[in-house]
Chains A and B, each alone.
Chain A
Amino acid sequence: QVQLQESGPGLVKPSQTLSLTCTVSGGSISSGGYYWSWIRQHPGKGLEWIGYIYYSGSTYYNPSLKSRVTISVDTSKNQFSLKLSSVTAADTAVYYCARIVVVVAATIDYWGQGTLVTVSS
């Protein structure tokens, strides 16, 4: 059973960089076949796709966030990470890491439990 677990600060100051890590267990990121993704959900709102990375390092970002987002992968630790720069209160949300099945694009078969990140001074 694949499990994903987000970790990182729950409080970030405005203008700083939000950094989160997702640790994958029960499966190897290096095995291929999946895009490793970050998705967020503003309080009481719907889901917003942030971007994803393949184990090779190829990335794809939501154009609306692209200038501020970096997703990286560390296959040795079976982890992938999110950095979102110059955050504002509008970036306050629950951040989920998730796995997208490549051959069935847009199918997210596993999700982390989510972590609330609040942007506030």
Chain B
Amino acid sequence: QSALTQPPSVSGSPGQSVTISCTGTSSDVGSYNRVSWYQQPPGTAPKLMIYEVSNRPSGVPDRFSGSKSGNTASLTISGLQAEDEADYYCSSYTSSSTPVVFGGGTKLTVL
């Protein structure tokens, strides 16, 4: 069981927007703005898409955005494209026994 809770799957049609949630606790997401999001297409390594809740690394399209409210962080992908189809993972800094915790991952299907 992962420390952060994500929906197993989400889907959307090209051009639409989807939001993936990541729910933690007051020991991680709720207390620190240290939430990251990673994209993992099949058979590849994860790629950083969002850090510190809402910051995008250079080269990541502005269609990807992040936010946080309380113990839940969210990743929104607008203007869905076929190439966005992948697994998405959130992570957070935590004050618990491990400094890094991950979500269980969400499979995004572009219909």
Contact = CB atoms under 8 A, between A and B. Distances in A.
Contacts of B85: none
A96 to B, nearest CB: 6
Nearest to B38: A108
Interface of A: 37, 46-49, 60, 62-63, 96, 100-101, 104-109, 111-114
B77 to A, nearest CB: 19
B13 to A, nearest CB: 26
Q: For chain A, what secondary structure do more than half of its interface residues adopt (helix, strand, loop), or is it mixed?
A: strand
Contacts, number: 63
A98 B97 CA distance: 20
Interface residues of B, number: 28
Interface in B77-111: 89, 91-94, 97-105
A111 B46 contact: yes
Interface of B: 2, 32, 34-36, 38, 44-48, 51-52, 57, 89, 91-94, 97-105
Contacts of B101: 49, 106
Given A108-B46, A111-B45, A48 B102 contact: yes
A112 B45 contact: yes
